[in-house]
Amino acid sequence: MKKSDAEVSDLDIADLLDSEEVVKLFLEESLAANDPILWQRALGYAARSAGMAKIAKRAGLNRESLYKALKEDAHPRFDTVMRVLNAMGLKLTITPCVAEKKAKYSAK
């Protein structure tokens, strides 16, 4: 096969999120990176993996609004994020950051 005969398809992360457990782990790791743009992008992939129309309906949003809210340069309201997570059967939880806690309270 010649180099010019090779085809490269676009990788869609949403296609790899094929179970609730994988979605949960993906979102946890994305959130742990402490990067709001990465988190928003990850939430968009997760919503697409579950079906944007289905998630939008469960969240009480229309599909177009959901796409707009989750695009990279958007700034979705926290309410929207919570509604999307709830529609996917997920919720945010708060846990201590062990590394930061040690740094903040370590003896000098």
What confidence score (pLDDT) does residue 103 get?
54
Q: For 31-58, how does the pLDDT look when each residue is reduced to its tens digit (9 = 90+)? A: 999 899 999 999 999 999 999 999 999 9
What confidence score (pLDDT) does residue 94 get?
83
In one-letter notation, the amino acid at residue 26 is F
Q: For 49-97, how does the pLDDT look when each residue is reduced to its tens digit (9 = 90+)? A: 999 999 999 999 999 999 999 988 899 999 999 999 999 999 988 888 7
Q: Which of 3-12, 53-62, 66-75, 99-108 has the lowest mean pLDDT?
A: 99-108
Secondary structure class of 74 (helix, strand, coil): coil
What confidence score (pLDDT) does residue 80 get?
95
Query: Distance between CA 4 and CA 47 in Å, rounded?
Result: 35
| Residue 55 near residue 47, CB atoms below 8 Å | yes
Q: For 15-34, how does the pLDDT look when each residue is reduced to its tens digit (9 = 90+)? A: 889 999 999 999 999 999 98
pTM of the model: 0.77
For residue 9, the 8-state DSSP code is: P
